[in-house]
Amino acid sequence: MKTIFREYDIRGVFEKELNQQSVKLIGYFLGQKIKGDKVVAIGFDARSHSPILRDYLTSGLNASGCRVLDMGLVATPVNYFANYISHDGIETDASIMITGSHNPSEYNGFKITVDKAPFFGEEIYALGDEIMANESMEIADDTHCEKIDVKTPYINYMIKEFAHLKGLDKKIVIDCGNGVADTVITDIFDALEFNYEGIYLEPDGTFPNHHPDPSVEENLVDIKKLLSEKGDIAFAYDGDADRIAVLTHKYNIKGDQMALLYAMKMENPTVIGEVKCSQVMYDELERRGAKAIMYKTGHSNLKVKMRETGADLACEVSGHIFFKHRYFGYDDAIYATLRMLELIHDGIDIDQEIDALPQVFSTEEIKVETTDEEKFILIDKIKELLENPPSDFPVIKNIITVDGVRINFENGWGLVRASNTTPLLVTRFESTDKALAKKYEESLNRLIRKAKELLY
């Protein structure tokens, strides 16, 4: 069971790892860590087993002495929003989102917020240790909770914040991927009188049309077709609506490029990117007078770093966008959609802005299979090998080790890091020259193979 306790959240297969016993224990011991007698709001995604896990979790939380509020089927950002509003005079101390995000339909999990901050890393690992030490403890069924409506105040908030966009003269197309984005998004679009068309709006946790991960090109085939036929701009969402893809007729705009666009309307912002972000983003931000910070991958890591630095914006290449500027500092694909439409409303030509950026050649994430036990050991071995790199290795300018190893070369960079959620190493490469990007990839892959050999 230990493998379900991940860096950013708790995630596993329904009934196999996430079953009645384990989930009740998660609720109970999490409630104990929240200090009991606290108010915890629960929401869940479209998977058929999410309401079942809600009941197990509620039983555990009730046994710990917590007061449980149930917001029902919601998007993850709506779940986060529950921490910032009052529910008939009741303030929440924590929220839990039951979601498998973009994982296959048999998966599910928990994204946990306590005192408006992510509950993650060592806190989750310690929770896992406590649960495994008490795995035979029995907890009675007790699904008592109070129903709350968070969607309505969330929708009203967005309508008010973006009232100036009413009647925007653009044809918008959206793909909700049968996730939970349309528990709120079309209500907002209708109120703002947008001209839009959507596909796969109906929440369906079997994801019958395509996998709900908009960072994968093959999942964008249908929305690209709709865009070419009927739209000016397109948006696609992952299963729990905290990640976004933005498409024009010319570009699939990655998260780091989105950050550059959003930052245009902020005065001297501080922007945090993950280690996979393009060097173009960091250089352009600095050139424009912004402060750019490179940090670890992961929504929890970035939220904590935003709090620490007072940053206005953070991003991941995969489409997690975090606004503190005019918002609350968490990743919200619905809010990011409206901020992108606001840029268009304000006269920003998105394609023209992307055209103007320095051209680089970047790979997608390239995954190297390993094991959960070996992946971090391999990163340590790679660091050792880089202390005396092979004679044919590209010239190294410097090495950043904030999350894995990002090697800056004369004309680009290469990254290898251990995935915190899967048994993989993740690599990415970028250069001003396509052949050099390939050379960096081949050189680092040889180093990874050498590190693997040293383990055996």
Alpha helices in 359-402 (DSSP H): 375-387
Residues 339/266, Cβ–Cβ less than 8 Å: no
The tokens describing 383, both together, are: 């660091």
Give the distance from CA 251 to its chain's centroid: 21
- Name which of 161, 329, 325, 182 is nearest 241 in CA terms: 182
- Name which of 230, 229, 278, 227 is nearest 252 in CA terms: 227
Residues 142/58, Cβ–Cβ less than 8 Å: yes
- E strand or H helix that includes residue 444: helix 434-455
Give, in order, the Cα–Cα distances in Å from 394 to each of 65, 397, 428, 443, 448: 59, 10, 16, 8, 15
What would you report as the CA-atom Rg of the chain, rounded to the nearest whole angstrom?
A: 22
Give backbone dihedrals phi and psi of 427, rounded to 5 degrees, phi first.
Answer: -120, 155
| Residue 2, helix vs strand vs coil | helix
According to DSSP, the β-strands at 270-274 and 291-295 are parallel
Catalytic residue among 59, 101, 300, 443: 101
Query: Which long-range CB contacts under 8 A does 431-437 form with residues at least 24 apart?
Result: 431/360, 431/361, 432/358, 432/359, 432/360, 432/361, 433/361, 434/361, 436/394, 436/409, 436/411, 436/412, 437/361, 437/362, 437/363, 437/412
The tokens describing 122, both together, are: 């060592």
Q: Give 3-state DSSP helix, strand, coil % of the chain, rounded to 5.
A: 40, 25, 40
According to DSSP, the β-strands at 39-44 and 94-98 are parallel
Task: Give residue 453's region: left, alpha or beta (phi > 0; psi -120 to 50).
Answer: alpha
| Residue 112, helix vs strand vs coil | strand
Return all residues near 326 (Cβ < 8 A) that are at least 6 apart: 161
Verify whether residue 101 is a known catalytic residue.
Answer: yes
Give the chain's count of helices (H) and strands (E): 14, 24
Residues 202/170, Cβ–Cβ less than 8 Å: no
Give backbone dihedrals phi and psi of 291, rounded to 5 degrees, phi first.
Answer: -105, 125
Please list the active-site residues: 101
